[in-house]
Structure 1
Amino acid sequence: MSAAIDISQLHKKFGQHTALHSIDLRVAPGTVFGLIGPNGAGKTTTLRTLVDVIRPTSGETMVLGEDPRTGGAALRRRIGYVPGELRLDGRVTGHRLLAFYAEVSGPVAPGAAQELAGRLGVDLSRPVRTLSKGNKQKIGLIQAFMHRPELLILDEPTSGLDPLVQREFLQMVREARDAGQTVLLSSHVLSEIQQIADEVAVLSDGHIVAEGNVASLRLGSIRRVRAGITTTDAAADRARLATLPGFVGLEISDANGGLRITGTVDGAIDPFVKALAPFEVNDLTVEEPDLEESVLRLYGSGAGTVAKDETRASRRARRGGRRA
């Protein structure tokens, strides 16, 4: 089966700045593909080339079997797109704006927009210019989903949404996948991608530094940990805590008759939790570090170069096999 999205050696320069360095990317039909990386990694540039908002310096992009540069309006009607910097304004109501989008995007089932508005919690009777950023984002999501396109391209789609609405959005994505639609979404929020994506590519400085499923990439294996323990023998407990397994950058400090430890656990959390069992733990916080820290720790420049080269080689081999 042909790919829903097939990118080969995509290179983009803006003046002297190179935003994308000859990336390869393939998204299978009926899957959710996450494109993640820190801000400025090249995610938005990649997505904009797929909808012909910008054009590549070199390389090829195929979307639903067509070149976005020549597919025109017919191809765009098969795509639902939410840009990273969504700008909606005007005196028209949400109803009127979505009715206009329906004329542009193609047939929309009766009541589809209203159903999505109810799920996301946005009042379509209000003028768009009076809506908050989050509610404008909801309108953007409705216009992308309401005509049930073959492909959804979503750039930072949960920007400005509260946690409950984010959860509803993720359910909408699951339903789209179950209906056979393909979803490509970018994010710098790792937990969002972990919950929904089948496959993931990690972008850093315009390079794809890793690709696979979330578990295989081990992005979720890094956690920042803070714990406080009560102690009667600070010197002995310091020595025992210094041997905690899996810790990177462990710091131990005095705190209110006890000790506080901070650092990062790289790997399984279970051995660390069991190692704390002999202590009287009075507080424990485990949190995900920001995505940039995860990417740099796991896929630094050396590893990134290897992963990128291996990805290109495997892609070329697969393309050679298809042509044979």
Structure 2
Amino acid sequence: MSVVHVEQLQKSFGSFVALKSIDLTVNKGEVFGFIGPNGAGKSVTIRTLLGIIRASSGQAHIFGKDVWTDAVDIHRRLAYVPGDVHLWPNLTGGEVIDLFGKLRGSIDRSKKEEMIERFSLDPKKKCRTYSKGNRQKVALVAAFSSNAELYILDEPTSGLDPLMEQVFQQCVQEIKDQGKSVLLSSHILSEVEKLCDRIGIIREGEIIETGTLKEMRHLTRIQMTVQADQSLTMLKNVPGIHDLANTDGQWTFQADNENLDEIIRFLAPLGVKKLESKPPALEDLFMRHYENQTRMDNSNV
């Protein structure tokens, strides 16, 4: 069952096309990672989903409701955390959290106190005294204290220290376990890799790849380290080998998944003493995807 459903969504600002036929689905109980560089269209997509800006064409629904015409009803059932939180300077953090709760309809006070403690937030300070990280904590406490069904998080850990990032990840896992849905936009690829069930990569206003990390790993290369009795110089002639290097008798290279069988057969008679492989990370997938696309773009110039 889909909580967010976007189909052929387009948004133009004058002659500039920010979104080009975006298709996106977030299912119930799923954490969906939305990644891409600055200017790729992540925030425009999210602002369209929130009913802040109106799409030029296409459809976008949350809970089966139109994101533009039914924005008020939708907002009662979701929580949103932006990457750069601006608060009322003369209110305390606690007052802001209570205000957000009242705007949504209600607030779970015991949960609010729990989140304040977990995020180490002083709710009695005026917002004008808060650092960026503490402003971010206010928004996160307000979101995780709610009983929302959908959490839209746009670079939510911006300004947080590593300990608070870990608390954030625990909170996301908890709401997922409760069957709630999360749309997570983040530039921290390790965070996306750890939390997300599916991933969408956006580039220049277009979704260029969507799927589970397992489904997308075929696009990446495995990092391998080998020590053997014989030289591996000829390995450079084996298909699927990239960036072969030798440091004090230890050979490192990247290997394409589809050529692993041939590579292992080549290595077997060479007296292998050590063989280590490192699984491809989301960052490898992300960077290779962009490198491939950039080469294609340049070849068309």
Relative to the length of structure 2, the TM-score reads: 0.80
Which residue of structure 1 aligns with residue 153 of structure 2? Answer: 154
**Gap runs ≥5 in structure 2:** 297-301
Which residue of structure 2 aligns with residue 13 of structure 1? Answer: 12
Which residue of structure 2 aligns with residue 92 of structure 1? Answer: 91
2:39 is the alignment partner of 1:45 = no
Q: In 1, distance between residues paired with 2:202 and 2:25?
A: 14
**Gap runs ≥5 in structure 1:** 303-324
**% of aligned pairs identical?**
36
Q: In 2, distance between residues paired with 1:100 and 1:241?
A: 64
2:94 is the alignment partner of 1:117 = no
Instruction: Please state how far the C-alpha of 1:188 moved relative to its aligned partner.
Output: 2.4
Q: In 1, distance between residues paired with 2:232 and 2:125?
A: 60
Alignment map for 1:162-181 (pairs within 5 Å): 162-181=161-180
Q: Once the two structures are superposed, what CA deviation does each residue of 1:292-324 show, in whole Å capped at 9, x if it has no partner?
A: 52322466787xxxxxxxxxxxxxxxxxxxxxx
Q: 1:84 to 1:205 in 2, by over 3 A?
A: same
SS of residue paired to 1:70: coil
Look up the equivalent residue of 2:76 and give its one-letter code: R
SS of residue paired to 2:202: strand
Instruction: Confirm or deny: 8 A CA contact 2:98 2:107 kept in the other structure.
Output: no
Q: Once the two structures are superposed, what CA deviation does each residue of 1:34-87 show, in whole Å capped at 9, x if it has no partner?
A: 112222221111111011111111111111111121224332121100123322
Aligned pair partner of 1:295 in 281, 286, 289: 289
Q: In 1, distance between residues paired with 2:100 and 2:253?
A: 49
Relative to the length of structure 1, the TM-score reads: 0.75
Q: In 1, distance between residues paired with 2:37 and 2:123?
A: 33
Q: In 2, distance between residues paired with 1:40 and 1:64?
A: 28
SS of residue paired to 1:26: strand
Q: Once the two structures are superposed, what CA deviation does each residue of 1:92-131 show, in whole Å capped at 9, x if it has no partner?
A: 2211111111111221112222211222222222222222
Q: In 2, distance between residues paired with 1:219 and 1:53?
A: 37
Q: In 1, distance between residues paired with 2:168 and 2:138?
A: 12
Instruction: Confirm or deny: 8 A CA contact 1:252 1:259 kept in the other structure.
Output: no
Look up the equivalent residue of 2:77 and give its one-letter code: R
Q: In 1, distance between residues paired with 2:119 and 2:202?
A: 30
Instruction: Confirm or deny: 8 A CA contact 1:31 1:181 kept in the other structure.
Output: yes
Q: How many residues align?
A: 291
Q: In 2, distance between residues paired with 1:287 and 1:160?
A: 28
